[in-house]
């Protein structure tokens, strides 16, 4: 019984049958359907002999002992968003399972190999992404805020977790799981259009973008739309509009995959008969390089001040949230490139816009890399999410080759 990538595709369909409906995947974390998926995974892994352990944050680990206790980790997440796709997260877990089967059959690997199904990557029910991986990585520090969170039915987060055997404060104990980790590998669908546009099945992920989110408020003067001449206006929306168009120039100048988005503008008083007094703009900027990200931010700030001056309005900046770029391990990036070249003939390196569990593991100082497989039409978090079966099979092969290379390199 050697590696069978077709089996992974068949099992993805089986999981979708078991836990999805006509609207898509329904494996939202901390629900019965999610537990059903975890039980199903348990049954699938059992024949490999890998031992199961559920940690304090509900991460599901399967350990295949190797010659060394140091461990190579393969990870993913079986939870989905409501009405999600058939691949996001579970491809990673099921491809890892297939690699685990191959290794178990061949005997004792040089390193211990652990497959991890992270708990609640999506944060779909309580709006807190990367729950299990951040607990394991030791970066979770928002317990007090999480205690107050409720789902759409008013159920508090601690109560929902307790139903699945998790104590919110105790979840931090999961950090012991990464103690002996040598490296971490994760395969994921791209969830974007880049690989498809290049006509490539697979790519190596360089790291996850740093993000700067700000609320930018322009303040002018409300005035009658009929009686105020054009040259006497202090129109806050004019400043916002200039900034929105300048963002394209900033992203183009900085390059390297830079993206800037004005995701929303709220204007007040917001009536047809008044010049806009305040325009509140939601700004999101992302880059893989911290220096360039800082450059983008200062460019946008300078531009906003220039436009405020031109329009005779004021501008204020308030930070909403930010995170540093998280680069992946250079040695593993090389190995991943080689693995992809071997199975697909050509490779491509790209950053990840979305965060993934891999980013948490990398933040904890463990050498990490991800593989992306092409997403059709770049769609994800919808039942329309799809990837060609032949590409899924190549992805399983690439993860398998990368595992072999990592076992040699880190043994």
Q: Which helix (H) or strand (E) holds 333?
A: helix 330-344
Shortest distance in whole angstroms from residue 399 CB to Zn ion: 15
Structure tokens at 327: 């680069």
How many alpha carbons fall within 13 Å on the CB side of residue 266? 5
Measured at CB, which residue is nearest to Zn ion?
Answer: 89
**Nearer to Zn ion (CB atom), residue 98 or residue 122:** 122
Shortest distance in whole angstroms from residue 121 CB to Zn ion: 6
First to last CA, the chain: 25
Shortest distance in whole angstroms from residue 330 CB to Zn ion: 24
**Nearer to Zn ion (CB atom), residue 88 or residue 280:** 88
Shortest distance in whole angstroms from residue 275 CB to Zn ion: 45
196, 254 Cβ separation under 8 angstroms: no
Structure tokens at 291: 């220096």
**Nearer to Zn ion (CB atom), residue 24 or residue 89:** 89
**Nearer to Zn ion (CB atom), residue 88 or residue 337:** 88
Rounded-to-integer distance, Cα 9 and Cα 91, Å: 9
Shortest distance in whole angstroms from residue 375 CB to Zn ion: 11
**Nearer to Zn ion (CB atom), residue 88 or residue 246:** 88
In terms of phi and psi (left: phi > 0; alpha: psi -120 to 50; beta: otherwise), the region of 89 is left
**Nearer to Zn ion (CB atom), residue 92 or residue 235:** 92
Distances (CA, A) of 294 to 288, 320, 326, 371: 11, 15, 15, 27
Shortest distance in whole angstroms from residue 257 CB to Zn ion: 20
Tell how strand 51-54 and strand 60-64 pair up.
Answer: antiparallel
Cβ-based neighbours of 30, under 8 Å, separated by 6 or more: 120, 125, 126, 160, 161, 163, 164
Identify the CA nearest to 203 among candidates 355, 335, 373: 373
Note the residues at the interface with Zn ion (CB under 5 A): 88-89
Residue with tokens 């190797």: 66
- Dihedral, CA atoms, 95, 100, 102, 105, nearest 10 degrees? -160
**Nearer to Zn ion (CB atom), residue 187 or residue 265:** 187
Shortest distance in whole angstroms from residue 89 CB to Zn ion: 4
């Amino acid at each position: 019984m050697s590696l069978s990538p077709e089996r992974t595709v068949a099992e993805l369909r089986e999981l979708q049958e078991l836990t999805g409906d006509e609207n898509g995947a329904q494996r939202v974390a901390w629900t019965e359907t999610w537990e059903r998926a975890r039980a199903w995974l348990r049954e699938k892994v059992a024949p490999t002999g890998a031992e199961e352990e559920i940690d304090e944050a509900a991460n599901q680990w399967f350990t295949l002992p190797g010659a060394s206790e140091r461990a190579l980790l393969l990870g993913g997440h079986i939870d989905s968003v409501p009405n999600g796709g058939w691949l996001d997260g579970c491809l990673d877990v099921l491809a890892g399972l297939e690699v685990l089967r191959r290794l178990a059959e061949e005997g004792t690997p040089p390193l211990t190999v652990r497959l991890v199904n992270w708990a609640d990557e999506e944060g779909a029910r309580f709006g807190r992404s990367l729950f299990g991986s951040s607990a394991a990585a030791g970066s979770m520090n928002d317990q007090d805020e999480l205690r107050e969170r409720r789902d759409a039915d008013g159920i508090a987060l601690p109560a929902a977790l307790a139903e699945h055997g998790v104590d919110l404060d105790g979840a931090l104990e999961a950090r012991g799981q990464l103690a002996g980790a040598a490296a971490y590998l994760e395969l994921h669908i791209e969830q974007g259009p880049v690989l498809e546009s290049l006509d490539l099945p697979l790519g190596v992920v360089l790291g996850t973008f740093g993000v700067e989110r700000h609320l930018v408020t322009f303040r002018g003067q409300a005035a009658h739309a009929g009686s105020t001449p054009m040259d006497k206006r202090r129109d806050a929306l004019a400043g916002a509009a200039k900034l929105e168009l300048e963002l394209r120039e900033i992203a183009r100048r900085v390059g390297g995959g830079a993206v800037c988005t004005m995701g929303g503008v709220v204007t007040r008083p917001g009536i047809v008969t008044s010049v806009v007094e305040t325009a509140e703009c939601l700004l999101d900027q992302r880059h893989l390089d911290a220096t360039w990200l800082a450059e983008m931010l200062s460019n946008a700030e300078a531009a906003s001040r220039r436009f405020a001056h031109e329009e005779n309005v004021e501008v204020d900046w308030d930070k909403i949230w930010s995170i540093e770029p998280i680069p992946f391990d250079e040695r593993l990036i090389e190995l991943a490139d080689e693995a992809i070249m071997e199975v697909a003939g050509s490779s491509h390196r790209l950053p990840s816009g979305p965060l993934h569990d891999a980013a948490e593991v990398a933040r904890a100082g463990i050498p990490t890399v991800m593989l992306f497989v092409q997403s059709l039409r770049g769609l994800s978090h919808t039942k329309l999410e799809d990837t060609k079966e032949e590409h899924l099979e190549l992805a399983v092969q690439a993860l398998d080759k990368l595992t072999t290379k990592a076992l040699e390199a880190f043994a």
